[in-house]
Amino acid sequence: MSLLLSPLDALAERLGLSPESELLALAVTHSSYAAEHDCTSNELLEFLGDAVVDLAVADLIVTQYPELDEGSGSLVRSRVVNEASLASAAQRLNLGDYIRIGRGEVKSHGLERPSLLADAFEAVVAALYLEKGFDVAKAFVHSALAKDVASAALRPDDVDPKTRLRKWTESAGLGLPVYTVTSEGPAHETTFDATVSIGGVVRGTGQGRSKKNAETQAALSAWERRDA
């Protein structure tokens, strides 16, 4: 059974792919839809796309911002290759107009969830990579995220909460933060709960629809309570 249940013409044209591309259709098929229609989801493409996006952004940083050292470059990349940034890129592309989700996700406004949008963005990048090669996928990522990289490169020390917390604990001689994450719910509606411990004491908690987001919220919580 074909996954092409709604027109992908506008998105395909923007990406330089055929509207009949099975990989593109797969890239916009969320696991909740796949479970209801007995078809394959975009999860494996998302896994591949994560690596492609990471490499493409690293390439952009190295080629366009050679003044940054390795540490600053890593910080810039971490501020761009994350759930919030990739979800914003997906919104700019109007990916939400094309993502297929299940009935439960529709009821819970799943298309507003950053994790779902970010995953779809990575899956679309993977589809481009597989059909057109790395250079085309890289060009697409550069176009989608160039402004985010430029903004981050202006202030490379404005780091993400996890990095900021780690730097503080190391400088204070407290060791590394330790994250513990649990999850509940079906695969397409999983909620993650995270705690972060410093010196064996829980200092922050967080919740999100992805492991990364839950850990980020826990780190932010611990950072805000660091002087308590």
pLDDT digits (tens, 9 = 90+) for 95-154: 988 988 888 777 776 677 888 899 999 999 999 999 999 999 999 999 999 999 999 888
Predicted pLDDT of residue 124: 97
Q: What are the pLDDT digits (tens) for 45-72?
A: 999 999 999 999 999 999 999 988 777 7
Predicted pLDDT of residue 75: 76
CA atoms lying within 13 Å on the CB side of residue 15: 32
Question: Where residue 160 falls among pLDDT bands split at 50, 70, 90?
Answer: confident
Predicted pLDDT of residue 155: 77
Mean pLDDT of 202-212: 87
Cα–chain-centroid distance for residue 83? 3
Q: How far apart are CA 89 and CA 218, in angstroms?
A: 24
User: Is the pLDDT assigned to residue 163 strictly greater than 50?
Assistant: yes
Structural domains present in the chain: 9-154 (1.10.1520.10), 161-224 (3.30.160.20)
The winner for highest mean pLDDT among 48-62, 77-91, 209-223 is 48-62
Active site residue 122: yes
H/E segment holding residue 181:
strand 178-184
Mean pLDDT of 198-212: 88
Catalytic residue among 50, 105, 119, 148: 50
Please state, rounded to an integer, the average pLDDT across all residues of the chain: 87
Question: Where residue 220 falls among pLDDT bands split at 50, 70, 90?
Answer: confident
For residue 194, what are the contacts with CB-CB under 8 A and spacing of at least 6?
179, 180, 181, 182, 205, 206, 207, 208, 211, 214, 215, 217, 218
> 17-23 long-range contacts, Cβ below 8 Å, gap at least 24?
17/127, 17/128, 17/131, 17/132, 21/127, 21/131, 23/126, 23/127, 23/130, 23/131
Q: How far apart are CA 100 and CA 208, in angstroms?
A: 21
Predicted pLDDT of residue 5: 41
Q: What are the pLDDT digits (tens) for 106-122?
A: 777 667 788 889 999 99
Phi and psi of 53, rounded to 5°? -60, -45
Q: How far apart are CA 200 and CA 217, in angstroms?
A: 19
Catalytic residue among 119, 122, 148, 215: 122
